[in-house]
Structure 1
């Protein structure tokens, strides 16, 4: 497996490049912020850890990220409703379930540490947590109400299932618009995720992951607004 990570890679660079590597380092108590400007092997040796195991775990995280990116390129226009919804739940809902709490920690951390000199972080903190709450509620609604109705309709062709799902689409699309507005405000508040001079590793990683969240949400909403929902609405055409 080709990898961008070697034992000489800087810890801070790994955290920025490889999604969820921060969790790995936190578990091993490896400092990737103030102490991140050093080769990985030095940080591992300081903690008397097994270098091979940690490198292997990093390779796995990197490969998972590549696989997720490849799946995003798949043509979902001709897939069945169940297959498309399973992809949305596994790929995009799964990402949000893991990412939102972790990102919440870092958005709060940079606000607490740097908020006095960067007052815009207070607004970022508020916007992000509003987005987090709305997305969590939105996913529950999709997984527990709307997607089961669409899945049942795909099997039974029941008018009741079809009409119920159809009635909820406008509500879901309105929630997508609200999430899009919050993402737009986050981008404006951070000046297009522009880092201040001398930003620490945690600051850099947080902004990078916020931008990745935006990108994932665009793909997520595209699959629902432009693929899943129109196909369902055109069933009777």
Structure 2
């Protein structure tokens, strides 16, 4: 691919150029739940300067392309390996991070909530996200991912349809979780701590930004790769 155009979707671009996710987050362009719409449509809806955004995107891609990167073509990786990658990388990260990060979110709300009222909403949003994601991962690991592995061994129309039925609920949950992350970014000024913020405040925002990055990549792999490869 030489350059990206308004015809490309954010999901397609991130598959080829993973670092594009940073630009899309900065510009608040969805590349996971709603990532299958052409950039031209997104630019129109958001009233963005398409020339400026495409120029920034393609310049970054040109520089990145000259560097040495190993990009995994997830469209060709066996489904079982893709599922294991999601579980061992993204689910493991969430299982390790959600509770300790929640303690930081609670701490800054308790200490700084009076001076910074948005921390009350952040606290509520984070806990909603935590509860949703924990239940979501259990459903995937216990119900949906075993079906995907069975489909890889014995593909059938019936099994594919069953997976897509299960995934319909998962995609709704992905959208809800994505909206929570977008709102957290909005009320935290793109996860930039206020001037003079204490160390705990700074750590909390940095870890929230990392959580967003990992979760969007996680959802992108599921919505735009894994489930799209299962043909019903």
Q: Structure 1 stretches (4+) deviating beyond 6 angstroms?
A: none
TM-score normalised to the size of structure 2? 0.68
Which residue does the alignment assign to 1:93? 91
Instruction: Find 2:229's aligned residue among 228, 231, 235.
Output: 231
How many angstroms does 1:74 deviate by?
Answer: 2.5
Which residue does the alignment assign to 1:190? 188
TM-score normalised to the size of structure 1? 0.66
1:50-199 correspondence to structure 2 within 5 Å? 73-199=71-197
Matched residues in 2 for 1:145 and 1:222: separation? 20
How many angstroms does 1:160 deviate by?
Answer: 4.2
Provide the secondary structure at the position in 2 that maps to 1:147: helix
Which residue does the alignment assign to 2:213? 215
Measured against aligned partners, the alpha-carbon deviations of 1:143-199 in whole angstroms (never above 9, x if no partner) come to 000000111111122444333212112111111100110001101111111211211
Provide the secondary structure at the position in 2 that maps to 1:216: helix
Matched residues in 2 for 1:203 and 1:133: separation? 22
Q: What stretches of structure 2 of length at least 5 have no aligned partner? A: 1-68
Q: What stretches of structure 1 of length at least 5 have no aligned partner? A: 1-70
Across the aligned residues of Structure 1 and Structure 2, the Cα RMSD in angstroms comes to 1.6
Matched residues in 2 for 1:117 and 1:156: separation? 58
